[in-house]
Chains A and B, each alone.
Chain A
Amino acid sequence: MSDIHANGSLGTGTAAGTGEAGFGDYVALLKPRVMSLVVFTALVGLLVAPVPVHPFITFTCILFIALGGGASGALNMWWDADIDQVMRRTKGRPIPAGRVQAGEALGLGLALSGLSVMMLALAANVAAGLLLGFTIFFYVVIYSMWLKRSTPQNIVIGGAAGAFPPMIGWVCATGSVSVEAVLMFLLIFMWTPPHFWALALFMNSDYEAAGVPMLTVTHGKRSTRNHILVYTILLAPVALAAGFTSIGGPVYLAISVLLNAGFLWGAWRIWRRDEAQAEADKYATEKSVFKFSLLYLFLHFSAFLLEAVLKSFGMGGW
């Protein structure tokens, strides 16, 4: 943290190796890209709830849910600094790059966790605050500290952490959990494994080097392809079931049918390929299915929102 480390070679604007972080490095600790998904799904969960919420309270709730997600990201980076250093995808993160010290990430993560839980409880209700606190605990302790390095099913259980935001948004508005909130949770929960395993198929060498027991490392790529197909088949009824609740409607259902058909088609294409074919076209199918999976989730939650907007004009819903 001292100027002794500073030298002329750092004049390019990079903070690498100085331990002297810029403001942007602390923002990077909060994983802003992951945060954008948290913000979007939590906002949808809050807006589609049957109880109207004041716009300023809505803004505050989403802000602190995002901050809670960011705090868990910082705690994850603190814990995973050793494996982040090994993986190509993560070695540019602030801690392995030497811009932020691990203790700083821990302090920031704990402080923001406490702040976000407390503020969400004050802005919305205690149940929402507690659910956010549980989500942070689940992501950091259950996923990062325990499951990530001990079981190839890490993604399956860990995916629950990313599935909580729309449920928290719903609880902010209603104060309780209902079948709609559970289905939004299950939609992300079931979507996460095929999404990440598609990524793992073409990022395998990274996980192998870090010693993370990703399914591709422990059971091989053939088994991973089987898992992707099975989980995508299990995902479809969950996504379609949401269409028959109060947050769904014919528009959602039509969009969901198309998206699930597309995702199933993609999973089928991944399943019928072998390694030789995948390597021949540099995992083109796996990459395209991974990209489609992002669109799949985004459009499902957009469809929930669309139904809510249509309902406000006397259309939409059943």
Chain B
Amino acid sequence: MALRTEHEIHQRRLGRNLGLGLVLAAFVVLVFGLTVVKVTRGDPMQAFDHSARPEMVPADAAQGAGQ
């Protein structure tokens, strides 16, 4: 007969570990969200991929270049 290893204390440990895991996962999500908000400052975000994109040039700079 196999020994029954489950005890209330093991359930409590499982609960504690799950809780800590969820807290850590939430922290990762939070730091990611904070980074996105800080980097974009509310504007849409575009990554730089080494190709010229006129829409990324500020309007006044584009006007100056055209004159």
Interface residues on B, range: 10 to 19
Residue of B9, B19, B34, B42 touching A20 (CB-CB under 8 A):
B9
Query: For B12, what are the chain A residues with a Cβ–Cβ distance below 8 Å?
Result: 15, 20-22
CB within 8 Å of B: which of A24-63?
A: 24, 26, 54, 56-57, 60, 63
Q: B42 → chain A, closest Cβ, in Å?
A: 6
Interface segment, A5-13, A71-79, A194-202?
Answer: A5-13
Min C-beta distance of B11 to chain A, whole Å: 9
B28 at interface by CB-CB < 8 Å = no
Once the chains bind, are A23 and B7 in contact (CB under 8 Å)? no
Which DSSP category, helix, strand, loop or mixed, fits chain A's interface?
helix
Q: Which residues of A contact B7 (CB under 8 A)?
A: 3, 6
- In the assembled complex, which residues on chain A have CB atoms less than 8 Å from the CB atom of B19? 23, 26
Residues of A with C-beta under 8 A to B18: 23
Q: Of A13, A18, A22, A122, which is in contact with the most chain B CB atoms at under 10 Å from its CB?
A: A22
Which applies to chain B's interface (DSSP): helix, strand, loop or mixed? helix
Does chain B have a CB within 8 A of A123? yes
For B30, the chain A residues whose CB sits under 8 A away are 60, 63
User: Do A18 and B9 touch (CB < 8 A)?
Assistant: yes
Identify 29 residue pairs between A and B in the complex whose beta-carbon atoms are under 8 Å apart, listed by A's number.
A3-B7, A3-B9, A6-B9, A10-B8, A10-B9, A11-B8, A15-B12, A18-B9, A20-B12, A21-B12, A21-B16, A22-B12, A22-B16, A23-B15, A23-B16, A23-B18, A23-B19, A23-B20, A26-B16, A26-B19, A56-B34, A56-B37, A57-B34, A57-B37, A60-B30, A60-B33, A60-B34, A63-B30, A122-B34
Interface residues of A (CB under 8 A from B): 3, 6, 10-11, 13, 15, 18, 20-24, 26, 54, 56-57, 60, 63, 122-123
